[in-house]
Amino acid sequence: MSVVLRNAQRTVPVRRAPLRRAVCVLRAALGAARFDVGLVCAGNGLMQRLNSVYRQRPEPTDVLSFPFHRLVAGELPRPRCRDDYNLGDIFLGVEYIHQQCCDTGEDFDSVLAVTAAHGLCHLLGYQHNTKPEWQQMYQKETEILEELNRLTGASLRPLTAGLF
């Protein structure tokens, strides 16, 4: 199935092809290759509005996920029709991520891939509100990033490392 990628900002250049390839590998590692996913690269303004509306936090953020299905962590959707083969949408705060990368010296494209992995896990019901939830999500992120690392030679680690 498809990964639809839209760049809704003009502040930070985004290399779409490597990001799309990474999301395809990550989605397959989750066992969800047959499901569509939307990926929106957004600036701080859009991320701040979405974060304010959906999380009551009026500041930009790195990633917001909007699942199509309500799932228990680790389960895959059970589509009943063609339109149900959709995981949902991930908004990547590329301007926010880019600012953080400039501050830390991390590679922007690598951090985008890690952030997309985090968003994909959220689409499949993983959360990190409690330590047990975080451990489960961290384990899943590590697992799918190891597959991406194996295929690309990278050494990416989960976004939530050291959260608890």
Q: What confidence tens digit (pLDDT) does each residue in 29-66 have?
A: 999 999 999 999 999 999 999 999 999 999 999 999 99
What is the CATH code for 3-152?
A: 3.40.390.30
Quote the CA–CA distance of 118 and 141 in Å, as a whole number: 7
Give pTM, 2 decimals: 0.95
Q: Is the dihedral of CA 111, 114, 120, 124 positive or negative?
A: negative
Q: What angle do CA 161, 146, 33 make, to 5 degrees?
A: 110
Phi then psi for residue 52, to 5 deg, are -70, -45
Q: What is the pLDDT of residues 128-161, one digit of tens each?
A: 999 999 999 999 999 999 999 999 999 999 977 7
Query: Measured between alpha carbons, how far is 23 from 5 in angstroms, rounded to an integer?
Result: 10
Backbone angles phi, psi at 39, to 5 degrees: -130, 120
